[in-house]
Amino acid sequence: MAENEKGTIVGFAAGGKERSGAYLEYDGELYAIYLLEEVQGQGIGKALVKQVAQSLLDRGYHSMLVLVLAENSARYFYETLGAVQIHTELETIAGERYEEVVYGWKSIKRLNEK
């Protein structure tokens, strides 16, 4: 979690084992990341991704992927952190079909060196 100077939570991230089993080169996954709009662009998201990556490293994972809706312009954030687009998938949410982009880091150790 990320807090502001008043102790209010302004963001969070979560990760763990890659859930689908479809991406054999990736053992970890960034499940979720969220930041309040007013704190975006301040480096908090990058710090949260790095925390998840470090937690995965500490548990023996070496790589990580994340799935992002293609319509989400914030998806390019992952590219700035060195993630590479590895696949696209179709996901059904509330009866609607959406394209998801799968990004991956083959080495999360390198992510934490940036």
Instruction: Give 46's contacts (C-beta < 8 A, 6+ positions apart).
Output: 81
Residue ranges in the chain assigned as alpha helix (H): 44-58, 76-80, 108-113
Res 80: pLDDT: 93
Give per-residue pLDDT as tens, 78-106.
999 999 999 999 989 899 999 999 999 99
Give per-residue pLDDT as tens, 12-31.
999 999 999 999 999 999 99
Q: Which of 17-31, 41-55, 61-75, 100-114 is predicted least confidently?
A: 100-114
